[in-house]
Structure 1
């Protein structure tokens, strides 16, 4: 959009750029900057327009974007242009990701390069390496307390090695995802050290207070993230004699985005990692970016403005790079991180589908799909050029962030139902086979979250310890069913390392003093590659799970109906134990897939006549695309075996 005041200012900014920038061939940069500048100007003005140095700060932002464009390699610029032409490239059904801690999966970057054939054997073509930026030697919140935003841990390798591995991944058509922690630094970061030394410039990067007056005003409405291990949201730092906002842990200092210098620094860091070869950047804790007294300091409108601004600037410098929103918040809030009042994504192109994850674990515990059906029905359609990241487990805990209205609508009391789920997955409920642990118990509210590996939460650890083969087979079926839903729901399925071979809880974390108080390390394993090798031994647990997931991935990639274009229709059925939806391709062969899942441990009937009458469904004789078999059918009734998942298509 052309707007005279904004573009007059842009001309002034461009005239004032350093000669070494002006002499460069910036044709594509200037074209994109011209297209996006009015949006950049407007957003920056909404955040900082009241400042006397507004124009100077905006000029600094443009200079950062220009310098990072100059630093961007010709190869990466060519990829940018290719993805601009095919702007829906990431919505296809071919993408399947895996998240991993580098030291747990392969020790270091050299090890990752050696094990790429393993990932390709499975069918993974998007690798999310969990945070490897330089962090404190002891407690570091799993790498999310960053000492240096421009370097990686020596144990992982060197920056040269990272660029080499990124190039190798590109040659193999594997996407690289890296983390950028936007909300905070560690208290050992250079900015924090200089703030402690009394430098006003860096004290203004954080929330620092001489006494408890302002912190107490914040605390009145701010919830606690880690109430057990890090109660409160402020820490007194004796070296600086001030109270510091530390929403997560006492060693993680929250950045103050009301200071434009912070936003410009973090934009520079985002573009720096884009230039190292990252295809996707996971932006951590984005819901917390803006703090305001009298609010929860989560999901503030200014946080969305910051993300829009970062995205608009990235589209100018590195438009081929995508953002993931790590916002584990209420279902009605998650969808906003694609952007509001828009047709296409304008903040982050990808968001974690935390709602689906929590709803799946509810269905496993209750053995019915009542809340799952209700919760998905309440989830709004995503924007165009946006997609979900669907996952079952990750490096973090399981939060029970259901909507209370949905819980009541299916006949449960919200507090009692959440307590049942915590009890079920942590062994406090009689006859539960799950082996999880409580995480983040809040004594004030009674809320809690859950830690544990997928296999252990699904009952596999219990079944193996009892040497109960029927129970083992049932757990494997459930694990494959959950992965089948990730593959077919709509979005990018994200596996978690170890789940593909049924890795059990990592109880060894209790022996490490820096980890023992954080039960999330229960689901942060270290690979035993001799055990992983058992995937090639017929009949082992590892082989049955690995080959099952490998088959799901291969079939997913072959089915155009699984591309993500809001082409899913939830089907209401009379059997509460079933979760049913259709996926339909919007072009080409016009595929139609009926996805059916039974969450119960008993066979369940599906009335096809009901589907025909209520949804105009007609596909004749049906065949499962995964197994190639036709399910048992008597007249209009399909019998769905326990914990079975079908992708039903018209039989050939």
Structure 2
């Protein structure tokens, strides 16, 4: 099907037959405006590979010590010097002028924050690495030109937001926060109530107005013209609102994503769309569509499930979940991660673990110096939404620092993540084993600041220069793991994955490509454990000795495989 036919189909569904051709013409003019070209038929996409790995970071995660370089230059220098080709993609979290939420309340979508740098810095980074950027599409800052125009009744913006009579019954709207859904604002027509899903500074946009969609197509194409080749659709699940519904996952939202996918497929098939939908797994998986929506979806269930499995030393629920993962459609894959700029979401655990196990994670987080954030339910009650703690300290032994078990637990979690089918995303603070940043919570009043430390450049280099420092050790080992993974086609996202249930003490994967087979076995307990050879007989040959590619060591398996506490082996079989 041609691009025009696909786009007309989407636009008619969203806005009706009378507007569809005019909207298509406006869209195509924007493509030319940004010196891009639409192919009539899509080109074939180059598949994801085991060489793909993403660094997730803020642009100001490292503060330069002198005025000779800006923050983006400092970040680029660190990535090139300290990570090299261990990653091939850098996700810079919102680097635009913003008024709150650490960048996710965008004032101007077309500018780089002055204290970070400029578009030349983004383009410079894109010469060596793929760059992922956020399209913060659900809402904008109340200090944006659009919203200020709305308040004055001027275009563009006067019809870009959602006004609601406060007497309207909105009780069935799905809420990710406990803040009010409607916010009062002054306008030239008096006080109005506008829709605010996340905060009173983040005003939701009205996509029922096609001009809003056209604005975001323009922004999207501008990003592509600047060398950005992975676009993260932020909070996309809440995009389309309709009174009387829960206003999440509506079909109109899926059609908007499909339209962006059509644009990508016909401009450059190697551009990647990734949807950020922090919801239960059965809802999240729908954002693959029929292979015509997101190329990648976040594995939001993985961080809490993995944390639970290792802390409780019980892999039952992690194994059950992994066994039920559907095979991604061709050209699509999972985005595996354990930490991000947000907390560890626990909504994705719904239906995956019993309530008492869920409660254990809440208690565990508090014992380790973390916090819990809550959301508001339909009945006005509150329930946990996310755990606020660094992933490294989530494995701590309460009251003790950098113990042997903490380090082993943490590395076990990261190696399991790297073993799974998909593309790994590693948050900056996972590379540096950053501890709970309680000063940030005190300074900002934001629980999420606990996992958003800004390193001083000299401070970080001092840690990395000491071989006995935990930051040096974890970064060095993490790079080794990524380099090992890159060398094995069995870890390609296209390679097969079979999850084995060999008891609750273990998490076991069989990864296989045409060239090789690797058995990934993790002991997730604090005790030495053994697996009887007969349990592995379907996978290992008659030989007694196998290579653990994580270390290069030869392992002898005669009657059993012995594993140390929290030890993982990748056996070439």
Change in CA separation of 1:619 and 1:66 when aligned onto 2, cut-off 3 Å:
farther
Pick from 521, 529, 543: which aligns with 1:604?
529
Pick from 221, 233, 239: which aligns with 2:181?
233
Change in CA separation of 1:322 and 1:402 when aligned onto 2, cut-off 3 Å:
closer
Distance (Å, rounded) in 2 between the aligned partners of 1:385 and 1:186? 35
Please state how far the C-alpha of 1:454 moved relative to its aligned partner: 1.6
Return 175-184 or 615-624, whichever deviates more.
Answer: 615-624
Please state how far the C-alpha of 1:507 moved relative to its aligned partner: 1.4
Distance (Å, rounded) in 2 between the aligned partners of 1:378 and 1:498? 30
Pick from 88, 106, 109: which aligns with 1:125?
88
Pick from 197, 202, 205: which aligns with 1:255?
205
Aligned to 1:243: 193
SS of 1:291 mapped into structure 2: coil
Please state how far the C-alpha of 1:235 moved relative to its aligned partner: 0.5
Aligned to 1:316: 266
Please state how far the C-alpha of 1:306 moved relative to its aligned partner: 0.5
SS of 2:565 mapped into structure 1: coil
Q: Does 1:88 align with 2:42?
A: no
Change in CA separation of 1:402 and 1:133 when aligned onto 2, cut-off 3 Å:
closer
Gaps of 5+ in 1: 2-34, 428-433, 465-470
Aligned to 1:190: 145
RMSD: 2.4
Q: With CA pairs under 8 Å and 6+ residues apart, which has the higher RCO, 1 or 2?
A: 2
Pick from 422, 426, 436: which aligns with 1:505?
436
Change in CA separation of 1:525 and 1:305 when aligned onto 2, cut-off 3 Å:
same
Change in CA separation of 1:88 and 1:358 when aligned onto 2, cut-off 3 Å:
farther
Q: Does 1:425 align with 2:365?
A: yes
Contact 1:185 1:255 (8 Å CA) reproduced: yes
Pick from 450, 464, 474: which aligns with 2:387?
450
Change in CA separation of 1:536 and 1:202 when aligned onto 2, cut-off 3 Å:
closer
Pick from 163, 166, 178: which aligns with 1:212?
166
Distance (Å, rounded) in 2 between the aligned partners of 1:119 and 1:288? 38
Q: Does 1:640 align with 2:563?
A: yes
Please state how far the C-alpha of 1:288 moved relative to its aligned partner: 0.8
Change in CA separation of 1:71 and 1:583 when aligned onto 2, cut-off 3 Å:
closer
Deviations 1:15-63 (A, max 9, x none): xxxxxxxxxxxxxxxxxxxx3221111111111115x433322321222
Aligned to 1:542: 471
Aligned to 1:627: 551
- Which structure's residues are more often helix, by fraction? 1
Contact 1:146 1:189 (8 Å CA) reproduced: yes
- Which structure's residues are more often strand, by fraction? 2
TM-score, structure 2 length as denominator?
0.92
Q: Does 1:149 align with 2:109?
A: yes
Please state how far the C-alpha of 1:478 moved relative to its aligned partner: 1.7
SS of 2:344 mapped into structure 1: coil
Please state how far the C-alpha of 1:124 moved relative to its aligned partner: 2.0
TM-score, structure 1 length as denominator?
0.81
Aligned to 2:158: 203
Please state how far the C-alpha of 1:106 moved relative to its aligned partner: 4.7
SS of 2:510 mapped into structure 1: strand
Contact 1:597 1:646 (8 Å CA) reproduced: yes
Q: Does 1:520 align with 2:448?
A: yes
Change in CA separation of 1:269 and 1:564 when aligned onto 2, cut-off 3 Å:
same
Aligned to 2:133: 178
Change in CA separation of 1:510 and 1:542 when aligned onto 2, cut-off 3 Å:
closer
Return 359-368 or 109-118, whichever deviates more.
Answer: 109-118
Pick from 229, 237, 249: which aligns with 1:287?
237
Change in CA separation of 1:302 and 1:566 when aligned onto 2, cut-off 3 Å:
farther
